[in-house]
Structure 1
C-alpha cells in the first residue's frame, strides 16, 4: 500500500463518526455449497501474462488533504456497507464458489488522468487483506483508452464485492483529476483551486483528486480559513465593517488563520485596500467575484478583473471566481491573478470510464466493438 494510503488507514478511528459495517468481511465470505470443480472455476483461475508492475515504493503517492475529524476509513466502510446490506453479495454467493481465485484487470475506457489508486488499495485491503494488487501506473499519470493499468488477484468473490466501490471512487476521482489537469495547464501561471462544492461526505476524496490533477486546495471547510462572502458583508453592514469584525475576533481568540474577503465591485476593492492601509489587518487574499463578464460572441471581458489586480498591486493574494470554464480560464490566468477557483471541478464532474474485468480479452473485444477500448 502506498505511504499515503497506509497512513490514512492506520489513523485512529474518529469517535465522532459512526463506524459502519464492522462485519463486512463476514458478509462477503459466506460458506458456499458449490465445489471448486465447477466448470466456471477453471476460467476464473486463468492467469494473464503480467506487465511490469510498480511497487508501492516506486510510486510517489499524493497524500490526501489533512482534516481534524474526517475519517476516510469510515467513508470506505459506508460505501461497502450500502452495497452489502444485511446479506452480502447474493449474486456472488449464488454463482461463485468460495475458494475460487481470479485475476481482474483495470482497463481505461477513455483517455484521462487516473486518480484513486491509493484509495483503491485501501478499499481492497478493507474487503480482503489477502488480495494482491499491482499497478502499472500511478495517481496523476495520463492513461489512454484501452490501457491495462493495474491488476488484482485473489478470492473471486471479494474482488467482485470490491469492484463497484473501487470503480465509483476511481472514476469520480479520475474525472476530477482530468478536468483539473486541463484547467491547471490552461490557467498557468495562476493556480487552479476547487471550492467547497463537493459531494456530501466526499469532501476529502474530491479535494484529493484535485491535488492529484495538479490543482491546489482551497479551504477544506468552515474551520481552516476565514472567508467573508456577500452574505457576511450584507449582515455586517459593509465590507469595511466585516473586515474590522474579523480582525477583532481573531485577536480576541488568538487565532492565526488566513483571511479572504469577497469583492464584487472595484469600489469594494478600494474600500478594502483603504482599510488595510490604515489598520493592522489579518487580510491575506482578496476574491474578485464575477469580474469576468461573458460576451455575446462567446468571448469574455476581463478588463474589470485586470483593473482590480492592478489596484491590489501584489499587496495581497488575488482569486478570480465566476464564469470560469475550460474555455475562459487561460484568458483569466493572463490577468495576473494568483488563483482561479472553479466549483465545476467537483460539482459538475464527468466520471472517467474505467472497468475492472476478469475476462480481459472478451472485455477488450466488446470495448472495440463499442469504441470504448
Structure 2
C-alpha cells in the first residue's frame, strides 16, 4: 500500500540523493527571495499516476510551495494538457523539479502500459463470449473478465509506487512480497523432492504449517503436474510459459477448482489470445521491469 509515510520517506531520500549539499546552480543564479509559477504539462498522451507523490516532492523541499492538481490518478490525459501547477520560491521549485518528474513520469508510464494490456483483454469480451476473429473466447471462472496483474519484478525500493501505478492503469496487484502468500516454484519443489516429498505432499506439507487464511499458489510447467497440484489443494495454479493450446487444456482440467494464472513472456500482442483461453489472471512482469516513462515537463510561467 502506498501510504503518506512511504511517499514522504522516498521523496526525502531522493532529494537528499540529488542535492546532498544543496543546489549550487540555483544558489548561484537565483535570488533567495524570487518566487514563480510552473505548470506540469503532458508532452504525450498517457494515464496519470503519482499526483500525491508529485506534490510531496515539492512539499518535502519546502512546505510553503503551493501545488494544485488538475487531474486525478487513473485519469487519461492528452498531449499539451496541464496536469498541475506549482508556485513558490524559485530555488526550491527548481531543486525539487527532477525528483517530482522522475516519480510521476515512471508511475504514469506504468499506468499507461497497464491500461493498454487491460484494454487488449477487455476488447475480446465486446459483443459477448462468442467467437472473435476465429478464436473461441472462454469466460474466466473467478472474475467477470481476465485480470491483468503485476509481479515482484519491480525496482528495488520503489515497489509501493510501481504497484500503485498498476492499479491506476486498471490492473490488479499480485502478492506484494514474500511474506504475503506461499508460492511454490520449481526450485522449491525440487528442494522438497530431494527430501522425498512429492508434489501433492509438498502442498499438504505447507498447508499444515500456515494459517487458514494463507493463500497457496503453485507454479507448473506441464499439464502432467496439474492433477497432483489439485490433489494437494492449491488455491492458485500458475501455468508458466504454456502454449495457447496447453493453456486452454489446463483451464479445462482445473475446471474452476483453483484460480488459473497464466505467466511467462507476456506481450501486448499475445495477451488477448491468452485471456481467451479462460484463465482468471495473467501476470505481466513487463508492466514494471520494461516500462517507458511518460514524457512530462515542468513549463515555467514566470512570477
TM-score normalised to the size of structure 1? 0.71
Q: CA deviation at 1:339?
A: 0.4
Q: Match for residue 47 of structure 2?
A: 113
Q: Map 1:120-199 to 2 at 5 A.
A: 120-188=54-122, 189-199=145-155
Indicate conservation of the 8 Å contact 2:50/2:107, yes or no.
Answer: yes
2:173 to 217, 224, 228: 217
Kindly indicate which of the two structures has a greater share of residues assigned to strand. 2
Q: CA deviation at 1:256?
A: 2.3
Q: CA deviation at 1:272?
A: 1.2
Q: Match for residue 265 of structure 2?
A: 323
Q: Match for residue 235 of structure 2?
A: 284
Q: Which runs of 5+ in 1 are unaligned?
A: 12-70, 277-282, 293-301, 361-373
Query: Are 2:286 and 1:351 equivalent residues in the alignment?
Result: no
2:209 to 249, 271, 275: 249
Indicate conservation of the 8 Å contact 1:186/1:330, yes or no.
Answer: yes
Q: CA deviation at 1:275?
A: 3.2
Distance 2:14 2:212 in 1: 36
Q: CA deviation at 1:160?
A: 0.8
Distance 1:211 1:329 in 2: 18
Q: Map 1:335-346 to 2 at 5 A.
A: 335-346=277-288
Q: Deviations over 1:146-188 (max 9, x none)?
A: 1122110111111111100010001100110000001012123
Q: Compute the RMSD of aligned alpha carbons.
A: 1.6
Q: Match for residue 332 of structure 1?
A: 274
Q: Deviations over 1:315-352 (max 9, x none)?
A: 11110001311111111111111100010100001000
Distance 1:268 1:167 in 2: 47
Q: Match for residue 127 of structure 2?
A: none
Q: Compared with structure 1, are the counterparts of its residues 275 and 284 closer, same or farther at alpha carbon in structure 2 (3 Å cutoff)?
A: closer
Distance 2:190 2:202 in 1: 9
Q: Which runs of 5+ in 2 are unaligned?
A: 123-144
Q: Runs of 4 or more off by more than 6 Å in structure 1?
A: none
Distance 1:307 1:344 in 2: 26
Indicate conservation of the 8 Å contact 1:232/1:242, yes or no.
Answer: no
Q: Match for residue 20 of structure 1?
A: none
TM-score normalised to the size of structure 2? 0.87
Q: Match for residue 135 of structure 2?
A: none
Q: CA deviation at 1:78?
A: 1.1
1:202 to 158, 169, 174: 158
Distance 1:306 1:118 in 2: 42
Distance 1:337 1:258 in 2: 18
Distance 1:128 1:239 in 2: 57
Distance 2:178 2:255 in 1: 28
Indicate conservation of the 8 Å contact 2:199/2:232, yes or no.
Answer: no
* Number of equivalenced pairs: 276
User: Greater CA radius of gyration, 1 or 2?
Assistant: 1
